[in-house]
Amino acid sequence: MKGSLAPHFPLAPMDGPAPGGRSGSVSIQTAFPDPVLLELPWGIPLEQWPEDVLAAFPRGISRHVVRFAHAGEKVVAVKETVPHYARHEYATLRRLQRMGIPSVVPDSVVTDRYTPEGEPLPAALVTDHLSFSLPYRAIFSAGPSAATVERLVDALASLIVQLHLSGFYWGDVSLSNTLFRRDAGAFAAYLVDAETGEIHPELTRGQRGYDIELARTNVAGEIMDLLAGAAEEGHDIADVVDPFEVSDRLVATYEFLWRELTVEESFSMDERWRVVERVRRLNELGFDVEEASMDTVDGRIRLRPQVVEPGHHTRRLQRLTGLGAHENQARRLLTDIAQLGQDLYPGLPEELVAQLWMREVFSPIMEAVTPPMRRKLEPAEIVHEVLEHRWFLSERAGKDVPTHAAVEDYVSSQLAQRPDEREVF
């Protein structure tokens, strides 16, 4: 059942209305009606919520009070704000979800909160906790590294491009307003804070420019702050790149992706192969061309992609195997599927090879990983790391190492030492 649930629910016995407000009442607007939300202590300021309700997850920096809380079997993020912004952000996140944009899932808006004494409390936006996600500071808990910083800003640049292609003006671009999931040696970025965001049919050059310049400034400041904190904690920061070089990389990556995805190309009629080449380049970047315009002027072809959709490899892997994965994970697993077909099943249709890969590679790997260990990384990331580990072991041994031996060694020597990233405390 979906819809709007916005009545007033009593949370505690009332002896009559308290002066200045309605003690023990609250309004909840949600697309996923769940009475468990009513059990949260809405009559108490968020900063004072009891420890038995809270989940001790790492939080990014925010201008608002934000806490993670247990709501039945799931964990939610609760942010206090004013009603207007709570409703605006909830509606914006809902639209982004329908558009397929990587972002947190909005759960509800809570308004009409009052203390037992009848004092009004701020509204609250409730979003679902994004499993296996990390705020950027948690990624650097052991100290910053240049390679990881660069992978983070590349993921952020890709997210900004996706948002801008969808007509979303962020207005508050930063690492702090983003969550990251591991993606086969890279990262996938998710929008967290949409309070200042606006969705338009199409963004102007000025809107895009403002967003990216704000990103340049904010990211440089966040990296400087990260380095300062690392130095105070005694971490070695000698190999960390300059914060301004990092922010310049963000802008350069954004501009490269935007140009590749949107620029109009012109070429002669005998260069028609360049149409296929353009589509191939976009596929390599992880995008599908859903719609393009082609016309001929003075014997030349003009080609401009009009609708590009991220997730080329993700969709292909899901079609072949049913697995959900991020783009780089999907790319890596598809490569292994193709290698299996080439080595053992030449000539067999790709769909059948994919099913054999699921039976002979994916399932044995996951069966060898105990349930507690599976909380450390997403399944696709575990399989990717096992495949990488198998390659390194084979190179060291000078011969192919069987997958079952690789996964046993990986679990004992690598995965067992990793922190639990499904719900990072």
Rounded Cα–Cα distance for residues 221 and 292 (Å)? 39
With a cut of 70, say whether residue 10 has pLDDT above it: no
Number of H helices, E strands in the chain: 13, 15
Q: What is the mean pLDDT of the chain?
A: 87
Q: Residue 2: its pLDDT value, please?
A: 38
Q: Residue 142: its pLDDT value, please?
A: 67
Over the stretch 125-137, which tens digit does the pLDDT of each residue have?
999 999 899 899 8
Over the stretch 355-405, which tens digit does the pLDDT of each residue have?
999 999 999 999 999 988 988 899 999 999 999 999 999 999 898 888 889
Q: Residue 423: its pLDDT value, please?
A: 62
Over the stretch 63-77, which tens digit does the pLDDT of each residue have?
789 999 999 888 999
CB atoms within 10 A of CB 302: 13
Strands (E), 13-96: 27-30, 66-71, 74-81
Q: Residue 24: its pLDDT value, please?
A: 59
In which residue are the tokens 């702050």 written?
Answer: 225
Higher pLDDT, 139 or 156: 156
The domain ranges of the chain are 27-128, 134-262, 265-310, 313-417
Task: Give CA angle at 125 (123, 16), nearest 5°.
Answer: 35
**CB-neighbour burial class of residue 318 (10 A; exposed 0-12, middle 13-18, buried 19+):** middle
Q: What percent of the chain has pLDDT over 90?
A: 61
- Of 191-195, 279-283, 417-421, the poorest mean pLDDT is in 417-421
- Of 78-82, 107-111, 132-136, the poorest mean pLDDT is in 132-136
Q: Residue 58: its pLDDT value, please?
A: 61
Domain 27-128, what fold? Phosphorylase Kinase; domain 1 (3.30.200)
Higher pLDDT, 300 or 192: 192
Residue whose C-alpha is closest to residue 255's, from 209, 316, 222: 209
According to DSSP, residue 400 is labeled P
* 33, 5 Cβ separation under 8 angstroms: yes
Strands (E), 298-373: 300-310
Query: Whole-structure pTM over 0.75, yes or no?
Result: yes
Rounded Cα–Cα distance for residues 293 and 305 (Å)? 6
Residue whose C-alpha is closest to residue 188's, from 337, 311, 62, 366: 311
Q: Residue 23: its pLDDT value, please?
A: 52
Using CA of residue 306, residue 309, residue 310, residue 313, what is the dihedral sign? negative
Q: Residue 60: its pLDDT value, please?
A: 57
**Residue 290 pLDDT grade (very low, low, confident, very high; cuts 50, 70, 90):** confident
Rounded Cα–Cα distance for residues 71 and 67 (Å)? 12
Higher pLDDT, 321 or 138: 321
Over the stretch 206-223, which tens digit does the pLDDT of each residue have?
999 999 999 999 999 999
Using CA of residue 137, residue 140, residue 144, residue 149, what is the dihedral sign? negative
Strands (E), 159-264: 168-169, 178-183, 186-191, 198-199
Q: 134-262: what CATH class? A: mainly alpha
With a cut of 70, say whether residue 180 has pLDDT above it: yes
Rounded Cα–Cα distance for residues 27 and 7 (Å)? 6
Residue whose C-alpha is closest to residue 189's, from 213, 166, 158: 158
Over the stretch 313-322, which tens digit does the pLDDT of each residue have?
999 999 999 9
| Coil, strand or helix at 167 | coil
With a cut of 50, say whether residue 160 has pLDDT above it: yes
Using CA of residue 421, residue 423, residue 424, residue 425, what is the dihedral sign? negative
Q: Residue 303: its pLDDT value, please?
A: 84
